[in-house]
Amino acid sequence: MDEVYSKILDFIAHKPRSRGEVIDKLDSYNLKKSLKEEILKNLISNKYINDEEYIKTYLEGLIRSGKPISIRKIKENLIKHKINIEKYSPLLKFPEDFEKNNCIKQAEKKLKSLTKEKSMFVKKQKLKKYLYYKGYSLSIINSVVDFLL
């Protein structure tokens, strides 16, 4: 157990990990269920893994980076890290204009690359497609495109 526990601590030491990621790593060692549960219990009681803190750290990193991102993409990224979105939904509350402001930032950046496009219709379509791919809802996309063009 000590060898696996130290390997898991090394795994966690590189960057914050969610509970689900640690469980997946434990599964890769083909341990008995009781041993996995004991290791997981120790990690949680020693506060090495905590999904709530993981989410807070992830969101703080996004805010510090200044990169615009849609709420849908944030949730998709958390799901990839095995986070139960429904359980932690109170942590995923954003200001009303958060998504719209991020959408405007990404749209303005994309518009710079569309300057050679002569047709306004094609420019709008490309911009809408790009923003949809980035995870924004159609209502936000339409209002941003109408605002910018």
Cα–Cα distance, 82 to 49 (Å, whole number): 13
> What is the number of structural domains in the chain?
2
Cα–Cα distance, 95 to 10 (Å, whole number): 37
Domain that holds residue 29: 2-45
Asked, for residue 12, whether it belongs to a domain, the answer is: yes
pTM, two decimals, is: 0.80
Give yes or no for a contact between 37 and 100, defined as CB atoms under 8 angstroms apart: no
pLDDT at 8: 92
Give yes or no for a contact between 58 and 78, defined as CB atoms under 8 angstroms apart: yes
Asked, for residue 108, whether it belongs to a domain, the answer is: yes
Segment 48-90, tens digit of pLDDT: 999 999 999 999 998 888 889 999 999 999 999 999 999 998 8
Q: Does 142 have pLDDT greater than 80?
A: yes
pLDDT at 112: 94
**47 against 2, higher pLDDT:** 47
